[in-house]
Amino acid sequence: MLNLFEEIKNANNIAISGHVRPDGDCVGSTLAIWNYAKDKFPEKQCDVYLTQPMPTMFSFLSGYSEIKYEYKAGEYDLLIVCDCNNVSRLDVHEAISDHAKRIIRIDHHEDSPVQQHFDETYANPKGSSTCELVYELIGDEDVTKEIAECIYTGIVHDTGVFQYDCCHKSTMIVAGNLMEKGIDTNYIIDETYYRKTFVQTRIMGRALAKAKLHEKGEFISTVITLKEMHEENASSKHMDGIVNQLRITKGTRIAIFLYETAPGEYKCSLRNNDDTDLNKVANAFGGGGHKKAAGFQSDLSSEEIIKRVIEEVRKQDV
């Protein structure tokens, strides 16, 4: 098993990073490790690099204000990649991996279909979240209240508040142990998971009002254009939760949510109510994720993307 303490001890300077469009698990896991490194080795240089836009609801997490968004040249002894199986998904921070002497990965995604070099990987695709794995690596007695807040946030987000199939007995035991650290679980669940800004409520309303059914209702889709985002003052950080709302529509099997990231470019999110492997579907478009939640970017038209997603799902049906 990866020895996180030794890894940090053996490095003089450490960079920690996670995937583009950081979510609760990505922010939680990187900041949990940052807090741990600061507790154990306060003299060491330790930097968290994430990409903008950074959701402000995570600003109560310890270390949030220290997050760096710009990497300037410089070599790190150790790069810790969290919640990400492919250094290209570090986006603007990919260059750090070219200047890191050692790269370790802590993750709950399947290995990337594109060959990747990591000096060591601690991954469990069955794990609820990267945060649950970080909890294992840190060990309960070194989990402070600040670290517990980070880890609990990641678990809550990646399990849909302890709901999805990836939430196991072990996840609940970890969550119970974290509660004992004195964290405010109601605050974390309500303020970071359920709370929506007015802009989010409006854009979700528009997305749901435009939803369409395909293939006798097996598939549900909706598309948000840049024009609509502009009209609502919305950006990519306001899109969370829309695909989950589509998924719970009665009778549907697969939810497809697209929003335009640049003219003619779409980000696609997929969710299912069945056993279709959405990671495989997303792989066909150069993306990835998990069996029940995956995504990709594409410059095909929105109609074409939806058609091809349906085709990829049909390939698994036979």
Quick one: which of 158, 232, 260, 312 contacts Mn ion (CB under 5 A)?
Answer: 158
Question: Strand 76-82 relative to strand 265-272: parallel, antiparallel, unpaired?
Answer: unpaired
Residues from 132 through 191 that contact ligand 5GP (CB under 6 A): none
Quick one: which of 7, 11, 25, 183 contacts Mn ion (CB under 5 A)?
Answer: 25
Among ligand 5GP, Mn ion, none, the one that 63 touches (CB under a kind-dependent 5 to 8 A) is none
- CB 141, min distance to ligand 5GP, A: 30
Quick one: which of 287, 306, 309, 312 contacts ligand 5GP (CB under 6 A)?
Answer: 287
Residues from 49 through 88 that contact ligand 5GP (CB under 6 A): 86
The torsion region of residue 20 among left (phi > 0), alpha (psi -120 to 50) and beta comes to beta
CA geometry: angle 191, 192, 194, nearest 5 deg: 70
Question: How many residues lie near ligand 5GP (CB under 6 A)?
Answer: 13
User: Which is closer to ligand 5GP, CB of 7 or CB of 107?
Assistant: 107
Residue among 17, 15, 27, 16 at smallest CA distance from 237: 27
C-alpha span between 261 and 259 (Å, rounded): 6
Q: How far apart are the first and last CA of the chain?
A: 39
Task: Report the residue number whose CB is nearest to Mn ion.
Answer: 25
Among ligand 5GP, Mn ion, none, the one that 297 touches (CB under a kind-dependent 5 to 8 A) is ligand 5GP
Q: Is position 122 an interface residue for ligand 5GP (rule: CB under 6 A)? A: no
C-alpha span between 303 and 281 (Å, rounded): 16
What three-state secondary structure class fits 158? helix
CA geometry: angle 212, 213, 219, nearest 5 deg: 120
Report the interface residues with Mn ion, using CB under 5 A: 25, 83, 130, 158
Report the interface residues with ligand 5GP, using CB under 6 A: 19, 86, 89, 269, 287-290, 293-297
